[in-house]
Amino acid sequence: MHELSIVADLFSIIEEQAKQARATRVTKVKVLIGELSGVVPELFRSAFQSYKKGTIADKAKLEIKITKIKFKCHNCGQEIKAKDISSPDFSYACPACGSKDVELVSGRDLYLEKLEIETES
Amino acid sequence: MEKSKKEVLVLEDILGSNKKIAGSIRQKLLEHRILTVNILSSPGSGKTSLLEKLGLKLQEKYKVGVIEGDVETERDAERIRKAGLPAWQITTHGACHLEAKMLAQIFDQIPANLDFLFIENVGNLVCPASFDLGESLRFVLLSVPEGDDKPKKYPEAFITSNVFVITKCDLLPYLPFDADRVTAEALEINPKLEVFRTSALTGEGIDALSQYLENKLQELRSKNA
Ligand SMILES: Nc1nc2c(ncn2[C@@H]2O[C@H](COP(=O)(O)OP(=O)(O)OP(=O)(O)O)[C@@H](O)[C@H]2O)c(=O)[nH]1
Ligand SMILES: [Mg+2]
Ligand SMILES: [Zn+2]
């Protein structure tokens, strides 16, 4: 359950951003979770729900978008989505030409993409 | 006053603060020319047992230190000290993984003249994979009794590692564990993995692994001369 420590780091960023934007409330939080990030979305969500109490994001909705694994192939040059990690066909290779000379370009990432906030003007 | 709603585009790495601390630890370790290995596995796969053997072997020629990460107790650090190696314990009090900031807290105690620093992570094949500790190499261990179907079940640990060690190989004759199959599966997920087979009981593979680490140390030192 490392999701809780990750959510704690997320809230440091949220609070910093909310302060900068002079937000009175954060109403929505959108995160990107890589398929290979090691984070379980459901655990992340429940950690978020318990952590948000008493913070500026007390009533915030959490939106999670899963980012797929993508390889850059050094053989054929394509940047291409990998097969689903849980499928038996997944392999660390270019789905187009089969080359194993590939680099992981996305799928490990954990990003706070955007916030929806309320301000008083 | 009027309330208004707006959207703020952030695009910030949630693990950014861990990565930043890990980056400065990595920098310091490289300045001291220390090769650091972060060791991941399930509880009981034989991390401490491997370190006892490997540490002693390397200590014939080098200065070796071990950081022990556990949820509670100082038992593993005591085992390592008993084996004759310096050890520092980090207890996470509940957390299932080590984070760079925990390492930063004890970093001043690590002597700058080490050659090798091993970090035994908390026994867990999932959570530690997400946290960079500033290591030069990451090892993932899988022991023969755990079964040979693990790499695809725990892909993050295998994808982020440099070395895959199959431990407790003295048990191969007694258990239905296909070491070739598990090697092939691990390489399918991560073709860059170096694979070793060891036994802390018979000493199998310890020399090969220690030779590999010696080469890596030379490599690190010639790059950072
Ligand atoms: N047969 C056999 N048993 C081993 C070997 N290595 C370790 N063991 C046994 O496996 C058990 C666990 O070993 P440890 O070295 O404590 O494992 P660990 O990964 O450090 O465990 P945690 O720190 O609790 O996660 C002990 O009872 C060891 O004696 C080996 O090579 N062969
Ligand atoms: Mg141990
Ligand atoms: Zn290709």
Angle in degrees, CA B29, B22, A26, rounded to 5: 165
What domains are defined for chain B?
5-223 (3.40.50.300)
Cβ of A9 within 8 Å of Cβ of B14? The answer is yes
Cβ of B11 within 8 Å of Cβ of A112? The answer is yes
Please state the separation of Cα B126 from the chain's center in Å. Answer: 13
Instruction: Provide the Cα torsion B97, B102, B106, B112; round to 10°.
Output: 80
pLDDT of res. B2: 78
Long-range contacts of B93-97 (CB under 8 A, 24+ apart): B95/A2, B95/A5, B95/B71, B95/B122, B96/A1, B96/A2, B96/B71, B96/B122, B96/B124, B96/B126, B96/B127, B96/B128, B97/A2, B97/A5, B97/B69, B97/B121, B97/B122, B97/B124, B97/B127, B97/B128, B97/B130, B97/B131
pLDDT of res. B3: 84
Question: Which residues on neighbouring strands pair with residue A81, listed in sequence order?
Answer: A70
Q: Break chain A into its structural domains and give their ranges.
A: 3-118
Contact B206, B170 (CB under 8 A): no
- Closest residue by Cα to residue A72 from A102, A99, A107: A102
| Ligand 1 binding pocket includes B71 (Cβ within 6 Å) | no
Q: What is the number of alpha carbons within 13 Å of residue B123 lying toward its C-beta?
A: 13
d(CA A53, ligand 1 centre) in Å: 42
- Closest residue by Cα to residue B129 from B191, B217, B190, B200: B190
Exposure string (b/e) for A25-41, b if CB count within 10 Å is 16 or more? bbbbbbbbbbbbbbbeb
What residues sit around ligand 3, an ion, with C-beta below 5 angstroms? A 73, 75-76, 94, 96-97, 99
State which H helix or E strand residue A11 sits in. helix A3-20
Q: Give residue-wise pLDDT tens across range A81-108.
A: 988 877 777 778 898 998 888 888 999 8
Listed in sequence order, the DSSP H helices in B60-205 are 75-83, 100-106, 155-159, 179-189
Cβ of B191 within 8 Å of Cβ of A100? The answer is yes
Place of tokens 């996470």: B92
**Residues contacting A54, CB < 8 A, separation 6+:** none
Contact B85, B64 (CB under 8 A): yes
- For residue A22, give how far its alpha carbon lies from the nearest alpha carbon of chain B (Å): 11
What confidence category does residue A73 fall into, taking pLDDT thresholds of 50, 70 and 90?
very high
> Hey, is the C-beta of B17 within 8 angstroms of any chain A C-beta?
yes
DSSP state of B62: S
Nearest-angstrom CA–CA distance, B111 and B65: 9
- pTM listed for this prediction: 0.93
Taking one residue from A and the other from B, the number of pairs with CB-CB distance under 8 angstroms is 110
Give Cα separations from B38 to A63, B20, B181 (angstroms): 33, 17, 25
Angle in degrees, CA B212, B74, B71, rounded to 5: 85
Listed in sequence order, the DSSP H helices in chain B are 16-31, 47-59, 75-83, 100-106, 155-159, 179-189, 206-223
| Ligand 1 binding pocket includes B49 (Cβ within 6 Å) | yes
Nearest-angstrom CA–CA distance, B5 and B127: 36
> Hey, is the C-beta of B58 within 8 angstroms of any chain A C-beta?
no
Nearest-angstrom CA–CA distance, A13 and B14: 8
Mean pLDDT of successive 10-residue stretches along chain B, which has 225 residues: 89 96 97 97 98 98 97 95 97 93 96 98 94 97 96 91 98 97 92 96 98 98 84
Of B40, B48, B49, which is best to mutate to test ligand 1, by the most ligand atoms within 8 angstroms of its C-beta?
Answer: B49
> Hey, is the C-beta of A13 within 8 angstroms of any chain B C-beta?
yes
Determine the CATH number of domain A3-118.
Answer: 3.30.2320.80
Question: Which residues on neighbouring strands pair with residue B87, listed in sequence order?
Answer: B66
For the beta carbon of residue B178, count every other beta carbon within 10 angstroms: 14
Interface of A with B in 27-66 (CB under 8 A): 27, 31, 36-39
Residue nearest ligand 1's atom 21 by CA: B44
Cβ of A120 within 8 Å of Cβ of B127? The answer is no
- Closest residue by Cα to residue B70 from B22, B125, B124: B124
